[in-house]
A = this chain, B = another copy of it.
Amino acid sequence: MAKTLKITVIGAGSATFSLGLVKDLCLTENLKGSVVSFMDINMERLENITALAERYSKELGADLRFEKMTDRREALQDADFVINTADVKGHYHARALRALTAQHGYYYGAAGIGSFYNFELMLGVARDIEAICPDAWLIQSGNPVFDGTTIMTRQTRAKVIGLCHGHYGYLHICQELGLDPAKVTWQAPGVNHAIWMTHFLYEGKNAYPLLDKWIQEKGPQYWETHVAERTHDIQMSKGTIRMYQMFGLMPIGDTPRQAAWWTNTDIETKMRWFGQPWGGPDTELARPVHVEGLEKRLAQVAAVSKDPSAKVSDVFGTTKTREQQVPIIDALANGVGGMFQVNVPNKGGVLEGVNEDVAVEGQAWIDQTGVNPLRMTPLPKKIMLTQIEPKVNAMERGILAYLKGDKELLLYNILENKQTRSYDQATAVLEDLLNMPGHEEARAHYSGRKK
């Protein structure tokens, strides 16, 4: 008989995420009977999602129990697992940020003040866990996963696992190459949003030659004719393949979004490298489509929750998602062991060339003994120098600026942006960013001159 667990979800108003989680819990035999504590600061979303979750669970006969909380510390009482999926400022604030920085000559929000608000939240959650439920696992599911997992595990004793979807990009490669994923073995280690495919085997044999063949024979036509149906569909784009050629390994998932500044300067350049119709996920054309999708889902949640006659499972389905949260909970709590792609501190140096207190992403065997990361094949020196080290350096600068309240370092971080053309441009955009509505706490935090 499996143990009854309490699972707390911070930022539970995120509809797609929470319903997916509930579905996975309902469909996981071991976890029936668990208590799910939904916590959010948005009461309306919280009520909708809780009502829906209760109906969902009943329809599937899963016997889950639900709580809804606006008080975080209350929600954490007796938690065995905490899933943090919150993004403090959200999509509308990000849009306002992009509009402001565009006035200073930055394309698509390239300049910013770092992760002040999400760091505050993450550290708040991790410290509450230390105080209230110190044995709980914190599954960090909101960005920045890399920086956040690193800072939380340095500043607190919370047990953190950072999760992301990016690694599923390998499935997209399989699909284009016509390979059955069940016969594919792969590894893509690195740090979150910078993972590079060190191993790609099909039926036990190196499949990189198949990729090279595709590039030569099918690539040009694909790049001319392919029209993305999802904004994030860039795994086989001209830009991603060019990065593979330049750096020597295939960048996976979110990696090509950030690996080369020269793909990210303006919409024409975006289209050139990431294709039709949006030029990848990070453009003024793509973002509204993505946010519209999220809003549709929220509206759907609201509509179904107001219609007691609707069957929730008809609307949201009865197949498991491919999210890792619930299987990881089942592994840790009930010993249903499995291999997962996770972000945890590089303790023991599983990824060579990265400090032990930096969160790295790679495969780990998880069961009741805990998270057991696989020692990764070292990444080629070229990728370490051009991709991993600069990314770790930027993460460290962001954390240091935050911890010290160092405005000069914020300025440096903006100056380092490839889109910054001059000192005056950087100082001006920083002032405007700190004076922006909604940034009052950040402004106060960075108001002293500390060194």
Interface contact A400-B422, CB-CB below 8 Å? no
Q: How far is the CA of A37 from the CA of B442 in the complex (A)?
A: 64
Residues on the B chain within 8 Å of A263, using CB: 423
- Chain A residues 391-436 with CB under 8 Å of chain B are 393, 396-397, 400, 406, 408-409, 411-412, 415, 418, 420-423, 426
Interface contact A269-B422, CB-CB below 8 Å? yes
Question: How many identical chains are in the complex?
Answer: 2
Q: 1/0 per residue A236-258: CB within 8 Å of B?
A: 00000000011110000000000
Interface contact B411-A382, CB-CB below 8 Å? no
Q: Verify if A205 is at the interface (C-beta below 8 Å from B).
A: no
Interface contact A408-B246, CB-CB below 8 Å? yes
Q: Verify if A214 is at the interface (C-beta below 8 Å from B).
A: no
State the main secondary structure of chain A at its contact with B: helix
Size class of the A contact interface (CB-based, 8 Å):
20 to 34
Shortest distance in angstroms between A407's beta carbon and chain B's nearest beta carbon? 10
Interface contact A385-B393, CB-CB below 8 Å? yes
Interface contact B451-A382, CB-CB below 8 Å? yes
Q: How far is the CA of A380 from the CA of B451 in the complex (A)?
A: 9
Q: Verify if A59 is at the interface (C-beta below 8 Å from B).
A: no
Q: Verify if A390 is at the interface (C-beta below 8 Å from B).
A: yes
25 of the cross-chain contacts (CB-CB < 8 Å) are A245-B408, A246-B411, A246-B412, A247-B408, A248-B451, A260-B415, A261-B415, A262-B415, A262-B420, A262-B422, A262-B423, A262-B426, A263-B423, A265-B421, A269-B423, A381-B396, A382-B400, A382-B406, A385-B393, A385-B400, A386-B397, A389-B389, A389-B393, A390-B393, A393-B393
